Structure 1
Amino acid sequence: MEVAFKEEPEALALERAGPRLERTFQVARQLRGAYRHADQWASVLQYATGEVRGGVSYGLTVPDVLADLTGRMVAWASHREPASCLSSDGEQPALLAGDTLRDEQGRLLLLTVPSAPTTPDGEVLLPPGLVPELKVHWELADCEVKQGERTRGARLRFEGPRGRDSAPVTVSVGETKQLLLKGLRYEVRVARARADASDRCGQAVFTLFREGLRERL
């Protein structure tokens, strides 16, 4: 899923505290199924604060859209920075990235992770402090390293705080499964999960939707 942010005047969008950009706003208007390109279209959360106009856009596969959040207060955060390990794809640091959308009580509505480095010791790195209620680990899938490839396929294990209100789940690439996290149910989708065969970082790509947040138009 692609996430895009726009704010006018544009200069205000450059206000970033280190690698993180955050906005809390009331959804004034929501576009659902806008700006279609091939099999993707956008759910756009629009807001206005004084002279500032902005929006956060989520690209979903047709016919999926976000449930109507018009009138609700939400908090959006986006994090992008280089990780501390090299990517298996080259000589550059792996990208550590994630975006969250939370409700008025601070509870997670949506987590999109376009790049989470998978470390050699089985951890899946998430931006520090972005989703403290969630831990992710990887384990090897039932496949071998192909000749000439650095990485192997993996499965991801998602878990929350220990207790009766959370239940871990393991998800393979291409699967969607249910996750219980702090008493709330989520749909977990894994688009990519690769582990490096040596000492570099692989990559995981996944999304968590609060149950009921994803609808079909």
Structure 2
Amino acid sequence: MLHQESISLETQTVTNGVPPQSGLTAQQTQGLALQQQLQRLEEVIVLDGLKLPLTQRTIVDEEQLLSQLLAVERSIPDTVRAAEDILKGKEEILSRAHQYAQELIKSAEQRAAQIADELTIIQQAEREAQQLQKQVQSEVEALRQRNISEVERARRQTQQELDAMRQATQAECEQIHREADLYADRVLKDLEVQLGTMLKVINNGRSHLKKSA
């Protein structure tokens, strides 16, 4: 490979080869220096390079090319580097934001699933409560009907017992009345017998008295 003599490139520490110009900001000065170094890089490749006949290739001094590339790199403004850092930071922030968003989505999905499970449990509990309420109401109604039936049966039984007691009492009263009549009849009959006997004694006594007179 052919090499041409390297051309020394003079650079200044502040302006990267661009003499200070009044009225330009530091960023404008750095931008102008970068533009000049890029133009010089083009000259190194196009003008200083050795073009091979009958081809599209050019032989360039490697040392000169590397030196010019280094000069271009040094001429890149700090704002460009800062922009690259910001871009990297932005990508990192976007990556973190994406990761955070995924975590939020996952957490939201888990919470939604938990809420759905809790809602299912609540709905199941409500259905069971309604079923239990219906069962209790049915049992209470059945108990009320049973109590009504028992009360009615007890009332009929009590009425029957009262009727039986009234009939028994009436029969007993009639029996007592009959027995009282029989007792009175016997007493009167005995009294009649006694009175008859006494009457005979009286009559006999009177007859005896009459005979004695």
TM range (shorter): under 0.3
Which structure has greater strand proportion?
Answer: 1
Rg: which structure is higher?
2
TM-score by length of 1: 0.17
Higher relative contact order (CA 8 A, sep 6+): 1
Which structure has greater helix proportion?
Answer: 2
TM-score by length of 2: 0.18
